[in-house]
Amino acid sequence: MTATERALSRRTVVGYALGSLGTGGFATLPGLVLVFYMTDTLGIGALLAGVLVTVAKIWDVIIDPVIGARSDSALRRSGSRRGFMRAGALLLPLFFVLTFAVPAGLPAATSGVWVLLAFVLTATAFSLFQVPYIALPAEIADGYDQRTRLLTWRVVVLTFSILLFGAGGPMLRNLGGDNEYLGYLLMAIVAGVVIGIGMLLASRVAPRGVVVAAPAEPSGGIRRHYAAGIAVLRRSQPFRALLATFMLQGLATGVMLAGANYVAVWVLHSEDALTLLFVALIAPALFCAPLWGVIARRIGKERGFVLASMLFGVAALALTAMLWAPGSWVYLPVALAGAGYAGMQSLPMAMLPDVISHDAATHGDGQAGTFSGVWTAGETIGMALGATALTLMLALTGYTESVGTTSVVQGEAAVAGIVLSFSVLPAALIALSLLTLRRYALRRGDIDRSDIEAEALA
């Protein structure tokens, strides 16, 4: 720890980490079951299901920079981002339940419109929380190592949340028995409440009444908010490199997440395999997230990020063998992917506040909300395109949708498309992300100098 770093209290670390109970739940459960819900319960075609999810995510991308800039303005006026976070925490459970409350018997087109509108509202509520939540580390943690500590424990809770929702969500859904509509509704009610509680608890960590370096509220309406987001992209090369890397990796993990249910049902021929896949993925991640923090302190976050990404990519590529020999062996490479995934989450999230503090020291103002708005929009694009890529593959390989418990048989081409979407495609995307990561130039010395300069200006 450098001389300029203030030690984080345990309350701050724990409180901030609890927010990932909500963010992990929302990132995991819709990504895991929403497309499958539309294709295999509501009878919506795979391509249309992908379009609906993408449209909802595009809306998310549109509003994230606006929320980020207005969060900065709220911070300037009141000294806190807490109001945005609480609004999102209270609204999300209601809209989340509505997304999975489509009545049985509706035409597929009507069901699709229902899901689209409800999920757009849910995504809006999530952004109200998520954007200021991501901005907080640059404001509550000083220094290279303190931010690593804060974000490491956030990712420990995040991985637990993914396990909880990824394994527990389908189990709750199955309690509906043959009534899949009831099962999804029960899952949504329980999950929505837990997500909201996690978000509310984390909102208490947001500082109140603190005087910070925040830009004046932009004039000229929404257009100026987007201009502010474009400006930080233009002036911060480290931010562009880190964001491009995170987007590509979000695309890789998004396509695997959306494909897991299909792998369990049509490749491993067991709905219980979905729970086992998530246990295999997340159990190693729970233990490895602190380990990546230790590695980062020794060799740097940047090198640790490269190692984590390579581990994930190689493990994903190994899953191609499911084309010829599907079986229980798949849980081993999935576990290795989970170990890499822990680093792929914790390290870039710990690098983001470094980028923000470096920019503030270089340009003399604090725009954490603007940065986090652009970051969240980029992450959303990656995850949304992951689901879209899967549905395109399903459509191209002749996947057959179904309504309720109707029995269908998938062709060999459709099964092969599922496997390739779960293995080769994410491995290729990880390889591309390593090329963009090479352009990230900030190191520990740069960050420590930035923090010293920022403290001198304060």
pLDDT at residue 406, as a whole number: 60
pLDDT at residue 306, as a whole number: 95
pLDDT per residue as tens digits for the range 178-188: 888 999 999 99
Structure tokens at 89: 């925490």
pLDDT at residue 249, as a whole number: 93
Would residue 120 count as lying in a domain? Answer: yes
For the whole model, what pTM was predicted?
A: 0.71
Angle at CA of residue 10, ends 5 and 13, nearest 5°: 75
The whole-angstrom separation of Cα 350 and Cα 444 is 12
pLDDT per residue as tens digits for the range 335-384: 999 899 989 988 998 888 888 887 877 776 656 777 877 887 777 777 77
Would residue 1 count as lying in a domain? Answer: no
Task: Identify which of 354, 370, 386, 378 has the alpha carbon closest to the alpha carbon of residue 137.
Answer: 354
Would residue 72 count as lying in a domain? Answer: yes
pLDDT at residue 154, as a whole number: 81
The whole-angstrom separation of Cα 343 and Cα 291 is 9
pLDDT at residue 158, as a whole number: 80
Q: Which residue has the tokens 């189990």?
A: 171
Dmax over CA atoms of the chain, in Å, equals: 68
In whole angstroms, how far apart are CA 403 and each of 51, 104, 181, 406? 19, 10, 11, 6
Region of residue 411 (phi > 0: left; psi between -120 and 50: alpha; otherwise: beta): beta
Would residue 268 count as lying in a domain? Answer: yes
The whole-angstrom separation of Cα 162 and Cα 28 is 6
Expressed as residue numbers, the domain containing 384 is 10-212+228-457
Would residue 5 count as lying in a domain? Answer: no
pLDDT at residue 1, as a whole number: 42
Task: Identify which of 152, 163, 91 has the alpha carbon closest to the alpha carbon of residue 123.
Answer: 91
pLDDT at residue 425, as a whole number: 94
Domain count, the chain: 1
Stated length of the chain = 458
Would residue 234 count as lying in a domain? Answer: yes
Report phi then psi at 100, rounded to 5.
-105, 25
Angle at which helices 180-203 and 82-99 pack, to 10 degrees?
180
CATH number at residue 32: 1.20.1250.20
pLDDT at residue 432, as a whole number: 96
Structure tokens at 50: 């992908």
Would residue 3 count as lying in a domain? Answer: no
In whole angstroms, how far apart are CA 380 and each of 193, 285, 370? 22, 22, 15
The torsion of the CA quartet 205, 339, 442, 210, rounded to 10 degrees, works out to: 0
Q: What is the DSSP letter of 136?
A: T
pLDDT at residue 252, as a whole number: 93
Would residue 217 count as lying in a domain? Answer: no
Tens digits of pLDDT across the chain (458 residues): 444 455 678 888 888 888 888 888 887 888 778 988 998 899 898 888 888 888 887 888 788 878 887 887 787 777 778 888 999 999 999 999 999 999 998 999 999 999 999 999 999 999 899 888 887 887 776 666 777 777 777 878 887 888 788 778 888 988 888 888 999 999 999 999 999 999 999 988 887 755 554 444 444 455 666 677 777 778 888 899 999 999 999 899 888 888 888 898 889 988 778 788 878 877 887 788 888 888 988 888 899 999 999 999 999 999 999 999 999 899 999 999 989 998 998 899 888 888 888 787 777 665 677 787 788 777 777 777 887 888 888 888 888 776 655 667 778 898 899 999 999 999 999 999 999 999 998 777 766 665 555 554 44
Question: Are the CB atoms for 448 and 144 separated by under 8 Å?
Answer: yes
Structure tokens at 28: 């995991």
Task: Identify which of 262, 271, 348 has the alpha carbon closest to the alpha carbon of residue 312.
Answer: 348
Q: What is the DSSP letter of 398?
A: T
